Amino acid sequence: MRVATTTAADHAAKTVDLGIAASTEIDRLLTLLDTTGDGLTGAQARTRLTVAGPNAVRTHRARGLTVLVRQLRSPLLILLALTAAASAMLGESTDALIIAVILTASVGLGFFNEYRAEKSAEALHTRIRHSCLTWRDGHPKAVDVTEIVPGDVVELQLGQVVPADLRLLTATGLECEESALTGESMPVAKSPEPVRAGAALADLTCCALMGTVVSAGSGKGVVVATGGRAEFGKIALGLGQRHPDTEFQMGLTRFSLLLVRVAAVLTGTIFVVNLLLHRPVIDALLFSLAIAVGISPQLLPAVVSTSLAAGTRRLAELKVLVKRLICIEDLGDIDVLFTDKTGTLTEGRIGFMRSLGPDGHAADGPLALGLLCNEAIVGSGGRVAGGNPLDVALWQAPGVETAMASLTAYRRLAVLPFDHERRAMSVLVEDTNGHRTLVTKGAPEAVLARCAGVPATARAALAAEFAAGNRVVAVAGRPFPIGPEQVQLTPADERDLVLDGLLVFLDPPKSTAAGALKRLAGLGISVKVLTGDNPVVAAKLCTDIGLAPGRVLTGEDVDAADDDHLPALIDQATVFARVSPEHKARIIRAQRRGGLDVAFMGDGVNDALALHAADVGVSVDSATDVAKDAADVLLLEKDLNVLADGVLEGRRIFANTMKYVLMGTSSNFGNMVSAAGASLLLGFLPMLPAQILLNNLLYDTGQLAIPTDNVDPEQLARPSRWDVKLIRRFMLFFGPLSSLFDFATFALVLGVFHAGPELFRTSWFVESLATQALVIFVIRTRRTPSFHSRPSVPLLLATLGVIVIGVVLPFTPVAQTLGFQPLPGAYFAALAVMVLLYLGLIELGKRWFYREAPAVAARRPRSTGRRTHRRAGPFTTVDVTTIQPSRSRARRSAARR
């Protein structure tokens, strides 16, 4: 790695190239960064933040121009606008102006709703925060990751996402999972020792890199690069802002392609027919393009955005935050929920109850040893700044002051950090007399297996605590030979231990868990528990809250089953205990292969793999950074009732979106078929281009109230997914039914009222608007008759308002300009009869169509960029302007390499 030239701004921010930092001795590096091993002062940090900018690689700021471009990028709209301009140049200025006004109104309506949705996403992002422990003014302090600056000293803990490119100052058994950056699948051991100059990125063992995850051990490092200057930041910037598409977005794409094909066939046919009938080329082109625009639900993005934005606001009130609006749809697709136990099914308030000696009776010794063998970060006066919940609970235990007094006789010489494979941690301590002791603390099964002998009384006490549903940690130790001052512990040292006792903790069942499980069952979601806890404890908890545990499987059972037999085992079990992170991910992948949509809810470092493996990753705002980073949805309260609310909202939004899609495509398709047929039979255009666009605009405007509509409970009882085949069948079945009544209208106005072009166009305009607007009340529900399902008041008022506008429009002063003329009173009587017959026929057709509801298979391909985009989540800010300096400097630095 060659040295990059630094700019004046770099010097002001006190930054050093990563390659130089990796090969420089620590004391020299701290001098270059103008910092100390105790970090920066608050004033220094604030000054550097103004120069270096936030530690961010992307923004969630809503950009009006971007939204507007999305509205204008439709080729059909652009072509129609160009054709209208050409028409104006040829003297058809009135028609061109009307078309321009209608197009502007359509684009403006879509822009307004999408921009509001973007603003909702921006407001949502401000509520999702990520922090890390940083030394400021000589004390550890929780700081938002976007406020980290070069020169800061950061504590690294198990499960943490590394917040910036760090040069390590200390490392205790530290390993980092760097696959998001280097592609290396195995964790990389880290050490403070400098590496050779010019070492490759994957060989920087003395550095912890932004976006990687602490998979073992702990450490402390000084920040070398932040934001777009960090190695991960450069990759994330290269991916851009756009995330890989979700299943819902891919469904929208497939649906759009269907419409493009249909529109192409109809547009081409109608244009050719009009040319063969020797109609003016411009009129024929405008008419054909208006048909193409008319068949496409132009405001579908606005309807979707409005639904998602409204849903986001409702969910935020219900304490559910989605990282992206589109994730709401994914929530509604859940078939199976795998969840951890702590805090979800339990209160999540782990409290220390008692310590027991090997004889099963109360004893203080195990508590003191538990405080010695402890990874909690403790400040002055015994104030706990963070750490493992069980370790923190020990420091908050009653009588801890007495135990702390005995700790002054010991000093810690070495630490072997906890990991999920060993399920234990060890420390080597030395007392004032020079006697050394190895203390090991961890899961009882793991610790007892390392003991030379275990009293029967201890095993009986352990069984009793498990049967009561309590969590237990075992403590053991042995004398350690006197050796050199610097000792490095290895797992092999954890042998021939003598059991010192048991530490008992309580995390009682959550009072709301039983009711929440019933709600989820009512939504067709089966719940299964994945936990690292003891099988007896997990099964007891599930029984207490009314969740039948079935066959309780362990990690050993999962290992013994191959991929072909694992799905059958999963079906038999509700509880999976003593499972590792890899076990959790494998179980979820096996369940997904069965065609089910799987969600996983977890908040710990050992949950990250499972969160990534699931279709929908759910975590909580108080979770570890790696869990929040891997999740799609964050709950402000760890409660399954909150998740159930999110599922209901996701299904409601999808149901309302599908109402618009099914109704719009079928009605528009029917209108366009009618237009094609009328073009063949009449000596004039059946409807002017401006009238087609106005009809479409009025109709779509009324349907913007669909997101407020009520949804039948039976539609919320199970997931509904995109099915282009169903949409196509619906369009081809109900569209021609609409055309039948269009042709009946043609016969009526031509045969009875002897209509000319203006009267014909006016009558069809009103009939078309009335039928396709009112049919929403039939199509919006699968119930027959439809009045058994009550629509929302806003939808009812919006629909009736649009119909009133359509009926009144021919009688207004603008009627002549639009090509309308007043309709005779007898026409409205005939129209009422036709509308009633039409709605009755649709009712009968709907009963037949839904007689056998088609099954929809789950399909969720994942893009390679999905994980990197997720990992970039913590490094995000709302203020786009402050990111730019980091981006530009990153590009300049990359160019100089």
CA distance 195 to 207: 9
| Paired tokens of 381 | 């006066």
Catalytic residue among 152, 165, 330, 340: 340
Which residues touch 54 (CB under 8 Å, ≥6 apart)?
A: 146, 147, 226, 227, 877, 879, 882, 883, 886
Strand partners, 498: 453, 477
CA distance 275 to 561: 69
CA distance 851 to 832: 29
CA distance 86 to 99: 12
CA distance 321 to 129: 11
556: part of which helix (H) or strand (E)?
helix 555-560
CB-based burial of residue 402 (10 Å sphere; 0-12 exposed, 13-18 middle, 19+ buried)? exposed
The single residue listed with the structure tokens 């009130």 is 317
Angle at 664 between CA 659 and CA 668, to 5 degrees: 160
CA distance 861 to 477: 50
Cβ-count burial 853-867 (b if 16+ within 10 Å, e if not): eeeeebebeeeebeb
CA distance 259 to 706: 21
Told to judge if 340 belongs to the known catalytic residues of this protein, a careful annotator would answer yes
Strand partners, 153: 135, 222
Start-to-end C-alpha separation, the chain = 8
| Paired tokens of 131 | 């922090």
What's the one-letter identity of residue 106? S
Pairing of strands 131-136, 616-620: unpaired
CA distance 703 to 699: 7
What's the one-letter identity of residue 738? S
CA distance 739 to 747: 12
Phi and psi, residue 116, nearest 5°: -60, -40
Is the link from the previous residue into 54 a cis peptide, with omega within 30 of 0? no
Catalytic residues, which ones?
340
